Amino acid sequence: MSETGVRDSLDELKTAAKSSIAEASSLSELADIETTYLGRKGQLTQLLRGVGELPPEERPTFGRLVNEARAGLEQALADRRAALAETEGAQRLRAEALDVTLPGRFYTVGRQHPLSATMDRIKRIFLGLGYEIVDSPEIERYHYNFESLNYPEEHPAMDEQMSFYVTDDLLLRTQTTAVQARIMESRQPPLRICTMGRCYRSDEVDATHSHTFHQVDCFAVDEDITFADLKGTLYNFAREMFGPDTQVRFRPDYFPFVEPGAEVAITCVICGGEGCGVCKSTGWLELGGAGMIHPNVFRQVGIDPEQYSGFAFGLGIDRMPMMMYRIDDLRLFLENDIRFLRQV
């Protein structure tokens, strides 16, 4: 190759390289261009290898020209790289920019259902009074729900109109009291047992009635248990639950599984007994039923009523948060309206 030929090749190469560099639109493209011209097997390097074909006197000049071309291209690459880096950096900054004025995402925190919170409080109080908390099935045998509790035949509660029967022998328990015989037939006194949970009755649904409701049932069996023990226990519970000034009222009532039986009421938690809309001006709120366990209940499970006595009471749970939080509609507990559930 003649000197002119080689020089022309060098000029062409420089022109092509510079225009590629100018057109490169990214840093990675630029890196490829660098390899193509200046790399170990690049075009400029190849050209330099051709120096041997030139006459010896022309070699130094050509070598200088190649080195100048290399320096020129390296400079052009560096300039373009700097320009691109600036643009790409600016683009990335723009793309990754944080808008600190955007409102944050709010994560909602779960809360206990008012009924669960109430049941937890009840549980703590009876655990503190020495009771054992047990579970009892919601689908209960007819025997435990009624028969073992001394229900007379033809009692209206046993009617299919009043209760949800699954089969002739199985029904959704109508009261947590069903736990009594289950425990007493397998264990011996002394017993201090408490259970709570859902109960079901075929009731018209309105603001104060539901087919599904919650009860807590406790009973104690030992020698020499008296009605005074029952009263003391319920006084303790009521004051822990509703405040130290709470009074408890017992009025005679009938339940097949107790004798004597009583209706339990507390002084109104809203007006303190003065009379208000919540207590319908009576000053009292009914909580449930109580009494001394009927000897027939003991006999059925093989506990001697001459040796042992016991008391039992069952309280409606749903009314407690209704009174405490002034909730006027029972249906709210089951409807799962998040606006309601968040308040408590």
Compute the least distance from the CB of residue 275 to Zn ion, in Å. Answer: 6
Judged by beta carbon, residue 219 or residue 242, the one nearer Zn ion is 242
What part of residues 206-225 is at the interface with Zn ion (CB under 5 A)? none
In whole angstroms, give the CA distance from residue 212 to residue 330.
Answer: 10
For position 268 contacting Zn ion by CB under 5 A, the verdict is: yes
For position 322 contacting Zn ion by CB under 5 A, the verdict is: no
Compute the least distance from the CB of residue 188 to Zn ion, in Å. Answer: 44
CB 329 within 8 A of CB 241: no
For position 38 contacting Zn ion by CB under 5 A, the verdict is: no
Judged by beta carbon, residue 76 or residue 276, the one nearer Zn ion is 276
Taking every pair of Cα atoms in the chain, the longest distance, rounded to a whole number of angstroms, is: 135
Q: Which two tokens stand for residue 184?
A: 């007493």
Identify the DSSP state of 108: P
Q: Which two tokens stand for residue 122?
A: 């009840």
Q: Looking at 132-140, 232-240, 261-269, 289-297, which segment touches Zn ion (CB under 5 A)?
A: 261-269
For position 133 contacting Zn ion by CB under 5 A, the verdict is: no
Determine the residue with CB nearest Zn ion.
268
Compute the least distance from the CB of residue 274 to Zn ion, in Å. Answer: 7
What part of residues 278-317 is at the interface with Zn ion (CB under 5 A)? 278-279
Among 76, 183, 271, 341, binds Zn ion (CB under 5 A): 271
In whole angstroms, give the CA distance from residue 107 to residue 331.
Answer: 27
Q: Looking at 23-31, 247-255, 263-271, 300-308, which segment touches Zn ion (CB under 5 A)?
A: 263-271
Compute the least distance from the CB of residue 239 to Zn ion, in Å. Answer: 17
Compute the least distance from the CB of residue 235 to Zn ion, in Å. Answer: 19
Compute the least distance from the CB of residue 281 to Zn ion, in Å. Answer: 7
In whole angstroms, give the CA distance from residue 60 to residue 228.
Answer: 122
For position 270 contacting Zn ion by CB under 5 A, the verdict is: yes
Amino acid at site 275:
G
Q: Looking at 217-225, 240-248, 275-283, 325-333, which segment touches Zn ion (CB under 5 A)?
A: 275-283
**Binding string to Zn ion for residues 81 to 110, with x set by CB under 5 A, is what?**
------------------------------
Identify the DSSP state of 294: P
Q: 298, exposed or middle or buried, with CB in 10 Å at 0-12, 13-18, 19+?
A: buried
The dihedral through the CA atoms of 258, 281, 209, 233 has a sign that is negative
What part of residues 109-128 is at the interface with Zn ion (CB under 5 A)? none
Pairing of strands 258-267, 284-293: antiparallel
Q: Looking at 17-25, 135-143, 264-272, 289-297, which segment touches Zn ion (CB under 5 A)?
A: 264-272
Query: Whose structure tokens read 């303790």?
Result: 236
Q: Looking at 14-22, 81-89, 202-210, 262-270, which segment touches Zn ion (CB under 5 A)?
A: 262-270
Judged by beta carbon, residue 84 or residue 270, the one nearer Zn ion is 270
CB 14 within 8 A of CB 68: no
Among 84, 129, 170, 276, binds Zn ion (CB under 5 A): 276
Identify the DSSP state of 206: B
3-class secondary structure per residue, 120-187? HHHHHHHHHCCCEECCCCCEEEHHHHCHHHCCCCCCHHHCCCCCCECCCCEEECCCHHHHHHHHHCCC
Q: Which two tokens stand for residue 199?
A: 């109960």
Judged by beta carbon, residue 137 or residue 316, the one nearer Zn ion is 316
- What's the residue count for the chain? 344
Which chain residues interact with Zn ion by CB under 5 A? 268, 270-271, 276, 278-279
